[in-house]
Amino acid sequence: MKSKSILILFLLVSINFLWANEFFVSTQGSNQNSGTKEFPFRTIQKAANSAISGDTITVREGTYREWVSPAHGGYHKSKPIVYRAAKGEKVHIKGSEIVKNWKKYKKNVWKTSVDNSVFGDFNPFATFVAGDWLLTANKFHLGEVYLNEKSLYETGGLDQLENPVAHKKAQDKAAAKLQWFAEVKDKVTIIYANFGKGVNPNKHLTEINVRPTCFFPKKTGVNYITVQGFYISQAATQWAPPTAEQIGAIGPHWSKGWVIENNNIRNSKCTGISIGKEFASGDNEFSKRKNLRGFHREIETVFKAIDLGWSKENIGSHTIHNNTIYECGQTGICGHMGAAFSTITNNKVYDINCKKMMFGAEVAGIKLHAPIDVLIAHNYVSNTYKAIWLDWQAQGTRVTGNLFTDNEWQDVFVEVSHGPTLIDNNIMLSHNSLTIGAHGVAAVHNLFGGTIRTLQITHRYTPYHYAHSTKLKGVAAIGGGDHRFYNNLFVSNENLTKGLDAYGLDAFNDYPVYYEGVFDTYTGKTAEGKKVTWFNYPVYMGQNIYFNKAIPYKNETGSVLTKQQAKVYLERNKGIVNLHLDIATAQLKKMKTQFVSTEKLGLTSISEASYENPDGSPILINTDFFGKIRTGQTPIAGPFNEIQEKSMKLFDLNSF
């Protein structure tokens, strides 16, 4: 009987496999065709309307100017609908249209008129960037003008175009003088642009964005989609706070089991990849209604989302792998709640918010709210405002084996969470390596080149959950402490930390060590200058090594403070990133460290959860930055099993 059941199952799977279709799309095709290799469709959307679970859509080389909204999803993770670029071919999905017929206006300023029918019911040049926690004083539009795929800067009027002045915070002052201004009329949108001295836009690729996204379902619950190998760019995405619908140039829109891999994502007005929340659980109520504080609205969205089915069974579990994401205005990757149970690995995220046209509390390379059981591993994040910002409910979150460098403010910021959050085997080389305004953070085997900061945020009561679940367990304010720091290497380069005071773990000197039944209270001032008293939970620190000016926590045990100097810097050559680490390895090898495990890290104080894998199995941190097994009885402090005398190759950026 058992054999018969297995045979029937095998036949059903085989029949299902035989029924799977492959649709083809080509710029030379027609939507009147059948979608075969010989007779391909013209648009990706036509194939999306036809494909069902288990089908594959192969797109041939060319540029596709459309908003792809998958009509159907897969019914199981083993039977996704796969969208893929044809092997070896460059397939570009753009949210823009080419604009020609530019006429000289004055000096270097050109003018064109675009019929509003090009935009349909969405004109980004008539729509402001807006939303909760957007702090920019000036108003900017969602519209963008692109010259040879580089976006120009919006300016406030025609007079500024003739004598352009670069945005004072823009990183590239020369590029910042290439500017545009638009006037939206009843039937046309008139665009003026300064493309620079001697540049005729009619002889170059000149485009404007017209669509709010490039690859994003219009409805929620479109599960198990795989997107591979596309170039995706020039989407007029809106500001994406955690209390609004979060739309990226690409994203699953409150679904489950998407795989987004091997894509090149560029020039999204706000967000590159969104794995965040939908509309129904809140739409910028904080800034619209202004009768409650922002964190109240944030909590409301969590409760509403649970009512709408936020659970491991329905939402999240995405794979974001091996993508290159750059030149986006707000975030490379963002997501509130919809990122839960996902993996974000081997991505290259850089040049985020570099134009400095807008700013707010949602700007980062990767900005996640409620990243429950999320793995962020082996990513390269550079030249952003904050590299990784884990905001609210970072529970079961692990940040491991990443390289962070040249980020303006912080490499990792953990805010208003109760843990457990595990940060291990990372290389952090910006001027601020880590800021913690949370409970329950464990940092193990990291290389810290910048400062460490701690914050108390006593006025915000934030949720915590049962382990590996979206089910709410309680809410609590953020005092401080309940952190663990083991086997870390502090080098504190003076060029990174100049003018800053917290070089090591001395920022935690006001926090107690644990002894039964006693918790210290601390009286101080908030960032607003108000006097408050809060609980300081204990901290657990030891077996760290401090070079240069780095200072240990006052009650550390087993750590080493050395007067020897250490130098660390990155060298980039043709896409290869090498680390040069000039350090006295003898000190490292003499240290009496221990392997760090679930047992050693213990339970978090508030959420009462273990530092463990998402399946509940224990963690043993016995590998290094490269994934190599650590040898010997006492692992070397820092992210490497062995420190080579010559440079160490960290990343080949050409492989993304």
Q: Which of 85-89, 331-335, 650-654 has the least mean pLDDT?
A: 650-654
Q: DSSP alpha helices (H): ranges in 79-189?
A: 158-162, 173-176
* pLDDT (tens digit per residue) in 392-413: 999 999 999 999 999 999 999 9
Same domain for 107 and 167: yes
Q: Note whether residue 227 is domain-resident.
A: no
When pLDDT is averaged across residues 267-292 and rounded to a whole number, the result is 92
Tell me the C-alpha distance between 181 and 144, whole Å.
10
Average pLDDT of the chain? 90
| 564 within 8 A of 550, measured Cβ to Cβ | no
528: Cβ contacts below 8 Å, ≥ 6 apart: none
Of 618, 448, 603, the C-alpha closest to 537 is: 603
Of 465, 468, 643, the C-alpha closest to 566 is: 643
Phi and psi angles of residue 439, each rounded to the nearest 5 degrees, phi first? -115, 160
Q: Note whether residue 26 is domain-resident.
A: yes
Q: Is the torsion defined by CA of 233, 235, 238, 240 positive or negative? A: negative
Q: Note whether residue 37 is domain-resident.
A: yes
Looking at residue 289, the DSSP 8-state letter turns out to be: H
When pLDDT is averaged across residues 254-272 and rounded to a whole number, the result is 98
**What are the angstrom distances between the C-alpha of 522 and each of 222, 256, 477, 482, 526?**
49, 44, 14, 15, 12
pLDDT at residue 501 above 60?
no
Tell me the C-alpha distance between 619 and 398, whole Å.
11
pLDDT for position 534: 57
| 425 within 8 A of 447, measured Cβ to Cβ | no
Pairing of strands 484-486, 441-444: parallel
Q: Note whether residue 203 is domain-resident.
A: yes
**What are the angstrom distances between the C-alpha of 467 and each of 275, 285, 321, 417?**
21, 30, 25, 14
Phi and psi angles of residue 10, each rounded to the nearest 5 degrees, phi first? -60, -45
pLDDT at residue 645 above 90?
no
pLDDT for position 12: 46
Same domain for 105 and 68: no
Measured at the CA of 169, the angle between CA 416 and CA 233, to 5 degrees, comes to 75
Q: Give the confidence band of 114 by pLDDT, cuts at 50, 70, 90.
A: very high
Number of domains into which the chain is organized = 2
pLDDT for position 587: 76
* pLDDT (tens digit per residue) in 131-166: 999 998 688 999 999 999 999 999 988 888 988 887
User: CB-side exposure of 86: number of CA atoms within 13 Å?
Assistant: 17
* pLDDT (tens digit per residue) in 517-564: 445 555 655 555 666 555 678 899 999 999 888 889 999 988 988 878
* pLDDT (tens digit per residue) in 426-463: 999 998 999 999 999 999 999 999 999 998 887 788 99
Of 358, 348, 396, the C-alpha closest to 375 is: 396
Q: Give the confidence band of 167 by pLDDT, cuts at 50, 70, 90.
A: confident
Q: Note whether residue 300 is domain-resident.
A: no
> Which of residues 209, 241, 267 is at a domain's end?
209
pLDDT for position 214: 98
Q: Sheet containing 331-336: which strands, arranged edge to edge?
A: 271-274, 331-336, 364-369, 386-391, 410-415, 432-437, 451-454
Long-range Cβ contact pairs of 49-55 (< 8 A, separation 24 or more): 50/21, 50/23, 51/21, 51/23, 51/81, 52/21, 52/81, 53/79, 53/80, 53/81, 53/224, 54/16, 54/17, 54/19, 54/20, 54/79, 54/80, 54/81, 55/20, 55/21, 55/22, 55/23, 55/81, 55/82
> Which of residues 151, 180, 209 is at a domain's end?
209
Same domain for 113 and 203: yes
pLDDT at residue 176 above 90?
no
Same domain for 196 and 105: yes
Same domain for 183 and 133: yes
Same domain for 192 and 109: yes
CATH code (residue 116): 2.60.40.1180
pLDDT for position 562: 85
Same domain for 174 and 118: yes
Burial group, residue 44, by CB count within 10 angstroms (0-12, 13-18, 19+): buried
Q: Give the confidence band of 100 by pLDDT, cuts at 50, 70, 90.
A: very high
Same domain for 132 and 188: yes
* Buried/exposed 124-157: b ≥16 CB within 10 Å, e otherwise: bbebebbbbbbeeeeebbbbbbbbebebbbbbee
Tell me the C-alpha distance between 285 and 584, whole Å.
55
Same domain for 66 and 154: no
Q: Is the torsion defined by CA of 161, 162, 168, 172 positive or negative? A: positive
Kindly report the pTM of this predicted structure. 0.93
* pLDDT (tens digit per residue) in 21-58: 999 999 999 999 999 999 999 999 999 999 999 999 99
Looking at residue 174, the DSSP 8-state letter turns out to be: H
Q: Note whether residue 104 is domain-resident.
A: yes
Q: Note whether residue 123 is domain-resident.
A: yes
CATH code (residue 65): 3.30.1910
When pLDDT is averaged across residues 473-493 and rounded to a whole number, the result is 90
Q: Give the confidence band of 19 by pLDDT, cuts at 50, 70, 90.
A: confident
Looking at residue 13, the DSSP 8-state letter turns out to be: H
Range of the domain at 15: 2-75
Q: Note whether residue 156 is domain-resident.
A: yes
Note if the bond before 512 is cis, omega within 30 degrees: no
Tell me the C-alpha distance between 223 and 254, whole Å.
9
Hey, what are 609's tokens? Answer: 């959860």
pLDDT > 90: percent of the chain: 71
pLDDT at residue 283 above 60?
yes
Distance of CA 433 to the CA centre of its chain: 17
> Which of residues 209, 243, 276 is at a domain's end?
209
When pLDDT is averaged across residues 266-273 and rounded to a whole number, the result is 98
Hey, what are 251's tokens? Answer: 């994203």
Same domain for 199 and 112: yes
Same domain for 196 and 103: yes
* pLDDT (tens digit per residue) in 320-349: 999 999 999 999 999 999 999 999 999 999
Bridge partners for 232 per DSSP: 93, 265
Q: How many CB atoms lie within 10 A of CB 272?
A: 34
pLDDT for position 655: 82
